[in-house]
Amino acid sequence: MFRELVDRLSPRLKKQDNWFRKVLEPGLMLAIKLRYLATRESNTSLMYGFRVPHNTISLLVREVCESIIVEYADKVIACPTTTNEWQQLAEQFRIRWNLDHVLGALDGKHIAIKCLRNESSLYYNYKRFHSIILMDLVDVDYKFIWVDVGANGSASDATVFDNSELKDVIENHNIGFPEAAPLPNDKRKLPYIIVGNDAFPLRTWFMKQEGL
């Protein structure tokens, strides 16, 4: 897996040597980034382990992350865009979880961060730590099909979703949701929905599901 990552990311990370120093190899940059993600070691600790200056590490961590996102986003986070794709997803929810007309499960997650200078109150959440919010819609296997990350931790899940692109395209009917159809053994047409917890208000296309 590491070799695959290096091969795919090298074109994005490879740079030219200059007259006063050689650039870091993509494999080394990736190794530093993976160690950082796995252990949360400080840049100073990583500096001694990899013999790379801490100020260089602080820059490459973000660069490698951005390269991974660009290279793998379409493969790892693939949001359905056609009616047929959404219907296939709904069928998987019916078979796996016995939930009819469900197209995805929505929730928010607080990701802990260091206190930001002069903006600490914006990122201080109800759980009493500083965070940013990861809002995600997942499929039947808990895989992301849509993600919004970066909202300040003091915001509620409902507020973050209300300001999201996903809500806009759902309400504007630009995402390919199937038309309302009867449930099994019924003649009344009911809309396809996404499900979530009590943090979100009810809508014609959103229902609350106990246990989420």
Distance, in Å, from the CA atom of 48 to the CA atom of 53, rounded to the nearest integer, reads 8
pLDDT beneath 50, residues of the chain: none
The verdict on 98 and 61 lying in the same domain is no
Q: Are residues 52 and 90 in the same domain?
A: no
Non-local CB neighbours of 8 within 8 Å, separated by 6+ positions: 71, 72
Report the pLDDT value the prediction gives residue 129, as an integer from 0 to 100.
92
Q: Are residues 41 and 115 in the same domain?
A: no
Q: What is residue 84's predicted lDDT score, i.e. its pLDDT? A: 95
Query: What's residue 185's pLDDT?
Result: 86
Residue 136 structural domain? 83-208
pLDDT at 211: 58
Whether the Cβ atoms of residue 132 and residue 150 lie closer than 8 Å to each other: yes
64 and 141 assigned to the same domain: no
CA nearest 136: which of 197, 95, 88? 197
CA angle 55, 56, 58 (to 5 degrees): 65
Tell whether 106 and 157 lie within a shared domain. Answer: yes
